[in-house]
Amino acid sequence: MRSQPHTGLHPTYIPQRTTTPIPQLRLLRPLRESLQLGHPWVYRQALQSPPDLPSGTVVEVVDREGFVARGLYDRSSPLAIRIYTLDPSEPVDAALVDRRLGAALSIRQRVVSGLGRDTTGFRLCHGEGDRLPGIVIDIYGPIAVVITDGEAARTLLPAVTDSLVRRAEQLSLTTIYERHQRRAGSGGGLLWGTPPNLPDGLRGRHPLELVIFEHGMRLLVDVEHGQKTGMFLDQRENRRLIRDISHGLRVWNGFSYTGGFSVAAALGGASHVVSVDRAEAAIDTARRNFQLAGLPTEPHQFLVEDAFASLGRSKAQGERFDLVIVDPPSFAPTQQAVVGALAAYRRLHELAIDLVAPGGLLAAASCSSHVGEQAFLSTIGDASVAKRRAVQLLEVRGQPADHPTLPAFPEGRYLKFILCAVS
Ligand SMILES: C[S@@+](CC[C@H](N)C(=O)[O-])C[C@H]1O[C@@H](n2cnc3c(N)ncnc32)[C@H](O)[C@@H]1O
pLDDT tens sequence across 73-107: 999 999 999 999 999 999 999 999 999 999 999 99
Closest atom, ligand 1, to C-alpha of 261: 8
In a domain, 14, yes or no: no
pLDDT of residue 207: 92
H or E element in which residue 60 lies: strand 58-63
* Residues β-bridged to residue 273: 251
Are 267 and 385 part of one and the same domain? yes
What's the half-sphere exposure (Cβ side, CA atoms, 13 Å) at 31?
25
Are 189 and 245 part of one and the same domain? no
What is the overall mean pLDDT for the chain? 93
Q: How far is the CA of 124 from the centre of ligand 1 (A)?
A: 24
Instruction: For residue range 121-165, list pLDDT tens digits in order.
Output: 999 999 999 999 999 999 999 999 999 999 999 999 999 999 999
Q: How far is the CA of 260 from the centre of ligand 1 (A)?
A: 11
In a domain, 8, yes or no: no
In a domain, 17, yes or no: no
Are 207 and 334 part of one and the same domain? no
Query: Considering 222, 246, 271, which residue would you say is the last residue of a domain?
Result: 222
Are 309 and 361 part of one and the same domain? yes
Pocket of ligand 1 (CB under 6 A): 227, 231-232, 235, 255-258, 260-261, 276-279, 282, 306-308, 327-329, 367
pLDDT above 70 for 4: no
CATH of the domain at 72: 2.30.130.10
Q: How far apart are CA 202 and CA 153, in angstroms?
A: 32
Are 211 and 254 part of one and the same domain? no
* Phi then psi dihedrals of residue 351, to 5 deg: -60, -40
Contact 266, 184 (CB under 8 A): no
Ligand 1: residue of 231, 233, 257, 418 to mutate (most ligand atoms within 8 A of CB) is: 257
pLDDT of residue 10: 44
pLDDT of residue 6: 43
Closest atom, ligand 1, to C-alpha of 255: 12
In a domain, 238, yes or no: yes
Q: How far apart are CA 21 and CA 284, in angstroms?
A: 55
pLDDT > 70: what percent of the chain?
Answer: 94
Which residue CA neighbors atom 18 of ligand 1 most closely?
A: 306
Are 218 and 330 part of one and the same domain? no
* Phi then psi dihedrals of residue 356, to 5 deg: -80, 125
pLDDT above 90 for 26: yes
In a domain, 42, yes or no: yes
Of the candidates 343, 265, 350, the one whose C-alpha atom is nearest the C-alpha of residue 315 is 350
Instruction: For residue range 44-60, list pLDDT tens digits in order.
Output: 999 998 788 999 999 99
- What's the domain range around 65? 24-85
pLDDT of residue 320: 97
Q: How far apart are CA 249 and CA 266, in angstroms?
A: 9
Distances (CA, A) of 180 to 75, 146, 158, 159, 188: 19, 9, 15, 17, 5
CATH of the domain at 379: 3.40.50.150
Closest atom, ligand 1, to C-alpha of 231: 9
Report which DSSP code applies to 107.
H
Opening angle at CA 35, ends 32 and 41, nearest 5: 125
Are 161 and 218 part of one and the same domain? yes
CATH of the domain at 115: 3.30.750.80
Are 188 and 273 part of one and the same domain? no
pLDDT above 50 for 11: no
The model's confidence at residue 20, banded by pLDDT at 50, 70 and 90, is confident
Q: Region 238-252: what's the mean pLDDT?
A: 98
In a domain, 3, yes or no: no
Q: Region 297-319: what's the mean pLDDT?
A: 96
pLDDT above 50 for 284: yes
Ligand 1: residue of 278, 284, 314 to mutate (most ligand atoms within 8 A of CB) is: 278
Are 308 and 237 part of one and the same domain? yes
**Pick from 7-16, 173-182, 209-218, 230-239: least confident:** 7-16
Are 243 and 179 part of one and the same domain? no
Are 266 and 350 part of one and the same domain? yes
In a domain, 205, yes or no: yes
Give the contacts of 180 (CB within 8 A, at least 6 positions apart).
186, 187, 188, 189
The model's confidence at residue 182, banded by pLDDT at 50, 70 and 90, is low
Which residue CA neighbors atom 15 of ligand 1 most closely?
A: 329
Distance of CA 221 to the CA centre of its chain: 14
Of the candidates 119, 168, 164, 171, the one whose C-alpha atom is nearest the C-alpha of residue 146 is 164
Of the candidates 395, 365, 351, 361, the one whose C-alpha atom is nearest the C-alpha of residue 249 is 361
pLDDT above 80 for 322: yes
Q: How far is the CA of 367 from the centre of ligand 1 (A)?
A: 11
pLDDT above 70 for 18: no
Give the contacts of 24 (CB within 8 A, at least 6 positions apart).
59, 60, 61, 62
Query: Considering 168, 200, 222, which residue would you say is the last residue of a domain?
Result: 222
Q: How far apart are CA 265 and CA 275, in angstroms?
A: 11
Q: How far is the CA of 352 from the centre of ligand 1 (A)?
A: 15
Q: How far is the CA of 53 from the centre of ligand 1 (A)?
A: 39
H or E element in which residue 166 lies: helix 157-166
The catalytic site residues sit at 367
Contact 134, 127 (CB under 8 A): yes
Query: Considering 38, 56, 85, which residue would you say is the last residue of a domain?
Result: 85
DSSP string computed for 215-261: TTEEEEEETTTSSTTSS-GGGHHHHHHHHHH-TT-EEEEES-TTTHH
**Angle, in degrees to the nearest 10, between helices 307-316 and 338-355:** 30
In a domain, 67, yes or no: yes
Which residue CA neighbors atom 26 of ligand 1 most closely?
A: 257
Q: How far apart are CA 97 and CA 342, in angstroms?
A: 38
Number of domains in the chain: 3
Q: Long-range contacts: 313-319, Cβ < 8 Å, 24+?
A: 314/252, 314/274, 314/355, 315/351, 315/354, 315/355, 319/252, 319/355
Distances (CA, A) of 105 to 158, 189, 235: 18, 24, 20
Are 66 and 203 part of one and the same domain? no
Q: How far apart are CA 305 and CA 196, in angstroms?
A: 34
Q: Region 191-201: what's the mean pLDDT?
A: 94
Query: Which amino acid would we find at residue 184?
Result: A
